[in-house]
Amino acid sequence: MRIDAVVLAGRENTGKLAEESPEKYEANIDIAGKPMVSYILDTLKAVPRIGDIYLVGLRDGLRQYESDQIELVEPGASLFDNVQIGLKQATTEHVVICASDIPLVTPAIMEDLLDRCLATGADFCYPVSEKTDCDRVFPGVKRTYVTLKEGTFTGGNIFFVRKAIAERAWPMVEKMIAYRKKPLKMASVLGFGLLLKMALKIARVAEFEKRVGDILKINPRVILEARPEIGVDVDKPSDLELCRRILAK
C-alpha cells in the first residue's frame, strides 16, 4: 500500500534557533553538514511504501529539494493551514504528516511506525514515547510529559491520517497540533472528567481514544512505545546541539 507524505517546512528562523544559525528558514539549519529537513526527506525516500512527498514551504528557500518524488507546495498563514494544504495534495488513502525538524528518525523507525499504524485499521494515529525509553536513549534531554495509568509519555512529531476523514477531523487535528507540547490543554478539549483523571494520573489511553472517536465519529489510536527519536524535534538550542552531536558520529 502506497502512502503519500507531507513535510511541514514553512517556519522562518526567527525563534530560539535564530542565534544558532543565520539560515532564513529553520528547515535549512545545518546539522552535521546537511540541512535539517534533508534528513526526514531522505528517510521518507528510503521507505519503499512512501509515494509522493509534499514539502510545504516557501519556494525561495526550499526549491533545491524538488525532484520526481518531492513536490514543493506554497504554505499558508499557519501550521494548521499547512497541514490542510499538504493533505489536499495527497492522493493516497492514508497520509503520513511529518515535522521538518526530526532528523533522528531513520527509515527503519518510519517503516515500523507505518506498519503499526496500518495494523490498527484506525483513521488517525498519534505516536507517543515512554519517558523511561526517552531517558535511556537521550539522558538529560528535556521533553514535555504527561502521566497516564499506563505510564508517562511524550508526544511524537508524526501523524498518520486516513484522508477520507480529514475534513471531519480538522478541529481535532488543529488542536492536536496547537497543543502537542501542552498536554493539559490537549486533555481539556476532551472534557473535564478526563482532565480530572489526568490530574490524578489515573486516566487511561483507551479513554482518550474513545472520547476523540465519539466527538469526531472516527476510529483513532494512540501508538504506544513509539521510538524516542520520533519525539525529538529541534525547537531549541539544546535540541540542536544534541542532534548535531549524534549525527556527527
pLDDT digits (tens, 9 = 90+) for 123-162: 999 999 999 999 999 998 888 899 999 999 999 999 999 9
pLDDT greater than 80 at residue 187: no
pLDDT at 183: 63
DSSP for 40-79? HHHHHHTSTTEEEEEEES-HHHHGGG--SSEEEE---SSH
Partner residues linked to 147 by β-bridges: 152
Place of cell 472528567: 193
| Extents of the domains making up the chain | 1-104+232-249
Q: Are 57 and 38 in contact (CB under 8 A)?
A: no
Give residues with Cβ within 8 angstroms of 75, minimum separation 6. 10, 56, 57, 58, 81, 82, 85
pLDDT greater than 80 at residue 95: yes
Determine the Cα–Cα distance for residues 55 and 86; give it in Å rounded to an integer. 8
Mean pLDDT of 65-81: 94
Mean of all residue pLDDT scores within the chain: 92
Query: What is the topology classification, in CATH, of domain 1-104+232-249?
Result: Spore Coat Polysaccharide Biosynthesis Protein SpsA; Chain A (3.90.550)
Please, which pLDDT band fits residue 180 given cuts at 50, 70 and 90?
low
**Buried b / exposed e along 38-52 (16+ C-beta atoms within 10 A):** bbbbebbeebeebbb
pLDDT at 232: 95
DSSP letter at 156 equals -
Please, which pLDDT band fits residue 217 given cuts at 50, 70 and 90?
confident
Go through the chain and tell me how many residues it has: 249
Place of cell 497541514: 83
pLDDT at 3: 98
Mean pLDDT of 201-221: 90
Percent above pLDDT 90 for the chain: 76
Please, which pLDDT band fits residue 185 given cuts at 50, 70 and 90?
confident
pLDDT at 228: 97
Q: Are 101 and 35 in contact (CB under 8 A)?
A: no
| Prediction pTM value | 0.91
Determine the Cα–Cα distance for residues 161 and 169; give it in Å rounded to an integer. 9
